[in-house]
Structure 1
Amino acid sequence: MRMQGRTTRAAVVTGMVVLVAGGCTGSPEPGPATSATTDTTFSPTATPSSSPTLDAMMPPERPAEMSDRSATGASAAASYFFALYPYVFASGDLTEWSALSSETCEYCQNVRRSVEDQTARGVVGEGAEITIESAEGIEVAPGETYAADLVVVQAPSFEVTKDGERVPDGDGGRFQIHVALGWESGWVVRAIDAARA
């Protein structure tokens, strides 16, 4: 989501432009028999604390609702996935991010590559805290295919060099995000479309 930033995020930005312009699932459009139901019962809100650097080094708590194969579970999974965003850049720990990411999700893989590049250069991400204003889950194909629509606010982000220099990396902002998810013995993020709100 860092829509502007240094070259370390160029792949993420390029991926976001492609996603917004043309979609990213690559899957055929659902036929007329596909039904969709919406459930808005999961309403997460994350408020950054006064010490975001310390908080970002701690992984976010996985919501209990993620165990549900439902629209509510999809909403919880998408919200959790974006709560991981500042954590992976601050810690370099991609374990949960990778476990939830489909290999075909361009955005997911671009973030992974950006974190790996940042780690290789010896810099640490700071900021980019996510506040989720709303999250709505959608059941597309019961038991298999889901979606979630989120509105999030992202704080500005920085890279902290080995010497302690804090370099601006993104201005943050408010975003509308559509997440395509599947249930494959657990949640998998298949694609992400995002645009400034």
Structure 2
Amino acid sequence: MTCVVLVGVVTGCSSAEPIVESPAPVVREEPSPTPTPTPTPTEPVKPERPADMDRTDEVGAAAAATYFLELAPYVMATGDLAEWDLMTWAETCGFCTGIKDQANEARAMGDSFTGAEVTLSQIEPGQLDDLIGGIPVLVTYEQEPLLRRSLTGEVVSEQPAGSGRLQVDTVSTEDGWKILAVSTVE
């Protein structure tokens, strides 16, 4: 008896006996595993501290002012005050303590902040002030709206987008750059 079988199907036989075909093998494909989505961060990423902050000149002052202003939205959103506190001269900087107070109050109430991302340009360090050893830095900024939400998602407060010019008064200390004041410039 000569039979040719290809993939479980009889294609030709030379026998008089009936041939019972076996069913084709059933191949079950296991569903491919669904990839687990990578969680996206819900909080902003902390800005990277610029290497120029290690300098004690005008370049270092400009880097410190830029970093500090970029740090503000991160502080508001996360309540992470470690770098903020290291750079704040709390005795003279009302802007600095105001941001800290708002971040702490929101955390205590379970509220959260979103927005307030800032874009900086025209960063211009001034001359060293011989009296205090500080360097003023002029900065043009654009800031997105800031929303404060309760635990239930209700908007508690909001600040519109803003733009303008700031003066950031900096001083280099043995502990690194400190921000003495942040004020608006007309």
Q: TM-score, normalised by structure 2?
A: 0.71
What is the aligned partner in structure 1 of residue 90 from structure 2? 103
Percent of aligned positions with the same letter in both sequences? Answer: 30
Alignment match, 2:170: 181
Match of 2:7 in 1: none
Q: Which runs of 5+ in 2 are unaligned?
A: 1-39
CA distance in 2, matches of 1:132, 1:55: 23
- 1:94-141 CA-to-partner distances (Å, cap 9, x unmatched) read 111111000221111111111111111111110000000221112324
- Number of matched pairs: 144
Q: Distance in 2 between matches of 1:101 and 1:150?
A: 18
Specify the alignment match of 2:12 in structure 1. Answer: none
Does residue 86 (structure 1) correspond to residue 76 (structure 2)? The answer is no
- Name the aligned partner's letter for residue 68 of structure 1: R
Q: Is contact 1:123-1:159 (8 Å) kept?
A: yes
* C-alpha distance in structure 1 between counterparts of 2:168 and 2:58, whole Å: 12
Of Structure 1 and Structure 2, the greater helix share is in: 1
* CA deviation after TM superposition for structure 1 residue 61, in Å: 0.3
Which gives a bigger RCO, structure 1 or 2 (Cα 8 Å, sep 6+)?
A: 1
Query: Does structure 2 conserve the Cα–Cα contact (< 8 Å) formed by 1:176 and 1:194?
Result: yes
Q: Indicate if the aligned counterparts of 1:56 and 1:86 stay in contact, CA closer than 8 A.
A: no
**What amino acid is the match of 1:64?**
A
Alpha-carbon offset, residue 168 of structure 1: 4.8
Give the aligned partner of residue 109 of structure 2: 121
The answer on 1:165 being equivalent to 2:128 is no
Per the alignment, residue 31 of structure 2 pairs with none
Report the RMSD for the aligned CA atoms in angstroms: 2.1
Query: 1:193 maps to which residue?
Result: 183
Separation of aligned partners in 2, 1:56 and 1:194: 28
Q: Which AA in structure 1 matches 2:61?
A: A
Q: Does residue 75 of structure 2 align to residue 74 of structure 1? A: no
Match of 2:19 in 1: none
Picking from 31, 37, 48, the partner of 1:61 is 48
- TM-score normalised to structure 1 length: 0.68
Q: Contact 1:56 / 1:90 at 8 angstroms: preserved in 2?
A: yes
1:110 and 1:168 mapped to 2: Cα distance?
A: 16
Q: Distance in 2 between matches of 1:130 and 1:54?
A: 19
Can you give the 5+ residue segments of structure 1 that lack an aligned partner in the other structure? 1-52
CA change 1:55–1:175 in 2 (3 A) is farther
Q: Secondary structure at the match of 1:93?
A: coil
Contact 1:70 1:139 in 2 (8 A): no
Partner of 1:134: 122
